[in-house]
């Protein structure tokens, strides 16, 4: 029988994490009389032995709260644990230590909530014998195997509102305004926010842009009386034949690259070429904070309940996923570490182009 289950939230924080924790824990406690343990800061809690029981009261009143009551870490990896050695880092495989701790706690299964990195680690733990059920989380919406990850809708809403607000100052001062959003190596966030916010130009990693095409588009707009242009640009966007702009590197992180700065770079290039005044706004972590939208609260709850049902039914090593309007499951080992990009034939791209939006090509 399944008696004890651990929950962890890996990767970055995201609106809706608490809603999932709540749904998983309450379902396991109320429906199935299963004990629930919260693992602090993702896989770091298993490495550093920081786990605590979660009661019904612990997970009550957190549906609308952003972030995660368990904490998160986008650096912790049991198979590549960074240990500081002088000015450098030494990497160790501590997965056997983690396995021993899971046995010591008496955990019969784990609920792993996260994106592609979290699912990749989960996949490796599955091979070592840990029963896991995954829940897809990321504002970037770039996780393979599901139509939508929770957190994406909230991030799109935040970014779209920012673009709405940028419109008024762009019109007033006749400027080119660039709004840089997150998304890493996929363009779902910039695309969704750009369409919802009515951006004139949308730049995503999947379509390399050309500076001349953007500048020509800006000039064509000016000829018909549009003396401003709004550009929604993904942090991973790059020019044709160019490279993505790297803000910095984090040495002790599994994914060391931190993208950022493309809006500032591109804005300067447009200003130099056209002489138009440009301004760049980098939204950054604003997109990941705050209360989840109603859509994300509902989706997170559906995911959490489905994950609890998988635990009870011993349907392990699966990730719950949204396919159309239905919650289904996919094999974690099939999707861990994979990134879902925007297809170039996406109806979102063709639809945006149909209403006059440029993709810089």
Q: What is the Rg, in whole angstroms, of the alpha carbon atoms belonging to the chain?
A: 22
The CB density around residue 282, as the number of other CB atoms within 10 Å, is 19
Distance CA 202, CA 187 (A): 9
The candidate with the shortest Cα–Cα distance to 9, out of 269, 324, 304, 350, is 304
Helix ranges (DSSP H) in the chain: 17-32, 43-47, 95-105, 116-127, 152-173, 188-197, 211-223, 262-274, 294-312, 332-335, 347-354
Q: C-alpha 308: how far from its chain's center? A: 22
| Residue 93 appears among annotated catalytic residues | no
Find the catalytic residue in 108, 116, 140, 309: 140
Q: What are phi and psi of 330, to 5 degrees?
A: -135, 160
Residue in the structure block whose two tokens are 């591109």: 266
Q: What residues act catalytically? A: 140
């Amino acid at each position: 029988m399944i008696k004890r289950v651990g929950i962890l939230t890996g990767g970055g924080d995201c609106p809706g994490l608490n809603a999932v924790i709540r749904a998983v824990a309450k379902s396991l406690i109320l429906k199935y009389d299963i004990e629930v343990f919260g693992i602090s800061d993702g896989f770091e809690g298993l490495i550093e032995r920081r786990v605590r029981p979660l009661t019904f009261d612990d997970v009550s009143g957190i549906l609308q709260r952003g972030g995660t009551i368990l904490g998160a870490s986008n650096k912790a990896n049991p198979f590549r644990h960074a240990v500081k050695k002088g000015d450098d880092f030494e990497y160790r495989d501590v997965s056997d230590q983690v396995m021993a701790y899971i046995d010591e706690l008496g955990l019969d299964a784990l609920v792993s909530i996260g994106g592609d990195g979290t699912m990749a680690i989960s996949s490796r733990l599955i091979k070592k014998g840990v029963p896991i059920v995954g829940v897809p989380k990321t504002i970037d919406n770039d996780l393979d195997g599901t139509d939508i990850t929770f957190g994406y809708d909230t991030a799109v809403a935040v970014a779209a509102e920012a673009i709405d607000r940028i419109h008024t100052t762009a019109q007033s001062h006749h400027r080119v305004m660039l709004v840089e959003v997150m998304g890493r190596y996929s363009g779902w966030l910039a695309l969704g926010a750009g369409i919802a916010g009515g951006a004139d130009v949308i730049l995503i990693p999947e379509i390399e842009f050309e500076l001349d095409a953007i500048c020509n588009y800006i000039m064509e707009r000016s000829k018909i009386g549009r003396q401003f242009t709004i550009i929604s640009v993904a942090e991973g966007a790059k020019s044709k034949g160019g490279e993505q702009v790297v803000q910095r590197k984090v040495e002790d992180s599994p994914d060391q690259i931190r993208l950022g700065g493309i809006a500032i770079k591109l804005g300067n290039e447009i200003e130099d070429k056209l002489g138009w005044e440009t301004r760049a706004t980098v939204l950054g972590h604003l997109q990941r904070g705050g209360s989840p939208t109603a859509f994300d609260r509902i989706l997170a709850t559906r995911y959490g309940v489905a994950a609890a049902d998988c635990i009870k039914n011993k349907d392990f090593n699966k990730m719950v996923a949204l396919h159309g309007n239905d919650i289904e499951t996919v094999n974690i080992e099939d999707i861990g570490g994979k990134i879902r990009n925007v297809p170039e034939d996406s109806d979102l791209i063709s639809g945006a182009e149909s209403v006059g939006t440029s993709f810089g090509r």
